[in-house]
Amino acid sequence: MTDEDRLAHRPLRTYGRRGGRPLSGRQKQLFETLLPQIRVPVGAPGALDPATLFDDVDEIWLEIGFGGGEHTSGQAKSHPEVGLLASEVFIEGMAKCLGQIEDEGLTNVRLWEEDARELMAGLRDQCIDRVFILFPDPWPKTKQQKRRLIQPDFLDDLARVLKPGGRVRFATDVRSYADEALERLLRHPAFDWLAETAEDWRRAPADHIQTRYQTKNLGDIAPVYFEFICA
Ligand SMILES: C[S@@+](CC[C@H](N)C(=O)[O-])C[C@H]1O[C@@H](n2cnc3c(N)ncnc32)[C@H](O)[C@@H]1O
C-alpha cells in the first residue's frame, strides 16, 4: 500500500477540537508524570491483551470519548474489580480525568489520548467485556454525518474486540444519531438489542453516571440508552 492509499483509507476524524484552555501547572505535571505511567501501550495491531495491564481484575471495560472523565472515574471508583481503558482526544478532558484519577487514588484506569480507533486496532480479539459510547459527537449537519463514530467498519472492529456476551452501551440525545446508530447496530450480525420495552431505552440504566456534558441537554430529544450484547 502506498502512502497515498494509506491516506485515502484513513478513517474520517470523528472529533472536533483537541485543544482548549491552557492547562494549569498541576495539569501539565499530570501529563508529564501520571499519564506515562498509565498510558495504554498500544503497539502492533491485535497484539495487546489489556488484562496484562492490571494486577487483578475480573473484567475489562472500554470507554470511548469520555469528555471530562466523570463517567470514567465514577465507574472505576464503583468497580475496583474492573480494569477500565478510557480514551479521549480533547486535551483538557484528559487533564481533568488525570486529576480525578490522582484525587481518588484510582489504580484501575488506563488512558489513551489519541483516537480510540487506534487503541482498538491494537487490542487482541475478544478481550473486552463492556464498551461505553456516551453522547458521542453528534455531527448534526447532514454533510458532517459521515464523521459520526458509529459506522459499519467501526462496528466490525467493536465486534472483534468484544468477548462473546460482551455488552455495548450507546447513549445520545440527538434524534438523527439515535435512529442511525440503532439501525446500524440492529443490522450488524454480531449485535443483539437487549431492550424488551420502551422503558429499557428511555430510562437511564441504574449504573449510568451523568456527566456535565449530558446535563447541558444540547440535543433535540430526551436521552436514549441502547444496550447491545455481542453474539
Ligand atoms: C460530545 S462529547 C461527550 C463526552 C462524554 N462521553 C460525556 O457523555 O460527557 C464526545 C467526546 O468524544 C471525543 N471523541 C470523539 N471521537 C473520538 C475518538 N475517535 N477517539 C477518542 N475520543 C473521541 C471528543 O473529543 C469529545 O470529547
Enclosing H/E stretch for 111: strand 109-112
Domain 19-50+68-124 listed as CATH 3.40.50.150: yes
Distance between Cα 2 and ligand 1 center (Å): 31
Closest to 85 measured CA to CA, from 103, 105, 59: 59
Q: Which residues of the chain have pLDDT under 50?
A: none
Q: What is the pLDDT of residue 17?
A: 87
Distance between Cα 31 and ligand 1 center (Å): 19
Q: Is 225 in the pocket of ligand 1 (CB under 6 A)?
A: no
Q: Where are the domains of the chain?
A: 19-50+68-124, 126-231
**DSSP assignment string, 48-89:** B-GGGGSSS-SEEEEEE--TTSHHHHHHHHH-TTEEEEEE--
Tell me whether domains 19-50+68-124 and 126-231 share a fold. yes
Active site positions, annotated? 137
Q: Is 31 in the pocket of ligand 1 (CB under 6 A)?
A: no
Q: Is 134 in the pocket of ligand 1 (CB under 6 A)?
A: yes
Contacts by residues 13-16 (CB-CB < 8 Å, ≥ 24 positions apart): 13/147, 14/115, 14/117, 14/136, 14/137, 14/139, 14/147, 14/148, 14/149, 15/65, 15/89, 15/90, 15/115, 15/137, 16/137
Phi, psi for residue 229 in degrees, rounded to 5: -115, 140
Q: pLDDT by residue (tens digit) across 36-79? A: 999 999 999 999 999 999 999 999 999 999 999 999 999 999 99
The third-level CATH classification (topology) of the domain covering 126-231 is Rossmann fold (3.40.50)
